Amino acid sequence: MASPTVDAADLDIPGAGVRWWGAGVLRLLPPGEVLWGVVNNAGLATFGDLEWLSLDDYRRLYEVNVLGIVATSQTFLPLVRKARGRVVNISSLLARFAVPMRSPYVASKYAVEGLSDCMRYELRDWGVNVSIIEPGNYIAGTNIFTAAGVDATATRLWETMGEEVRALYGESLFWRRVAVMKKYADAGSTDLTPVLQAFASALLDRWPQPRYQPADLYFKTRCLVATHGPEWLYDALYISTPK
């Protein structure tokens, strides 16, 4: 990203890259200046039933999606605290309701919600506001899944799957489930304006909200049913898997 006011970097989260970038920010800030806000937007996604996936698949998402927030926040909070500024953590509406074949991502986003709420309570005594942004479906706008990427992941999962699990699912059922994920590659909105507006509000409004949900009516309704309705109703309306 090239901009006179924005610097972006790929960080080895949650490794030494965060500390290196933190030191760089300190060098860039003029004497006496502080850091107003941090947006934790790192995120990975994968798919697959529990038995298709390895511990490394789960660990990789947790390290980036959850521990990345911890590492970045720990690095920059001393500067943000001096400014009585803002921390914005990007979660997902999949932190409010679960779906099949997405357990690594869903579990990591549930963790982001709990972590962010704890941070909000802990930091308010220092005047630091913590907000969570829970986007709806913007897969088509972010390319977090692509058809080619789904195929590559599916091939890897099938080749590394244990013989017992492979026999249990069978190749036909496996690829029918993969086809469901491939449909998501082109799903959702390509207009990221609502998400960017949520960023701006969380960073700049005098009274930022604890949570923002930039999502269409379908996903807001689904979240409402999942949060306040009986589980049997949510399951009946929204959950199905190829068999």
137 vs 159: CA distance, rounded Å: 30
For residues 5-34, give the mean pLDDT. Answer: 68
Contact 92, 109 (CB under 8 A): yes
Residue 219 gets which letter from DSSP? H
Contact 5, 61 (CB under 8 A): no
How many CB atoms neighbour CB 62 within 10 A? 16
* Cα four-point dihedral sign 91, 221, 218, 184: positive
Q: Note the pLDDT tens digit of each residue in 50-70.
A: 999 999 999 999 999 999 999
CA dihedral 147, 151, 153, 155 (to 10 degrees): 180
Contact 133, 151 (CB under 8 A): no
DSSP letters for 165-185? HHHHHHHHHHHHHHHHHHHHT
Instruction: Tell me which of 31-35, 79-83, 85-89 is least confident.
Output: 31-35
pLDDT band for position 1 (cuts 50, 70, 90): very low
62, 105, 184, 238: the catalytic one is 105
Q: Note the pLDDT tens digit of each residue in 184-210.
A: 888 888 889 999 999 999 999 999 999
pLDDT beyond 60 at 127: yes
Q: Where are the domains of the chain?
A: 16-144+188-228
pLDDT beyond 70 at 17: no
Six token digits for residue 239: 């959950």
3-state SS assignment for residue 86: strand
pLDDT at residue 23 in the model? 73
Written out in words, the top-level CATH class of the domain with range 16-144+188-228 is alpha beta
126 vs 119: CA distance, rounded Å: 11
pTM score, two decimals?
0.89
Helix axes of 163-184 and 147-160: crossing angle, nearest 10 degrees: 170
Of 21 and 58, more confident: 58
Can 105 be counted among the known catalytic residues?
Answer: yes
Phi, psi (rounded to 5 degrees) for 43: -165, 135
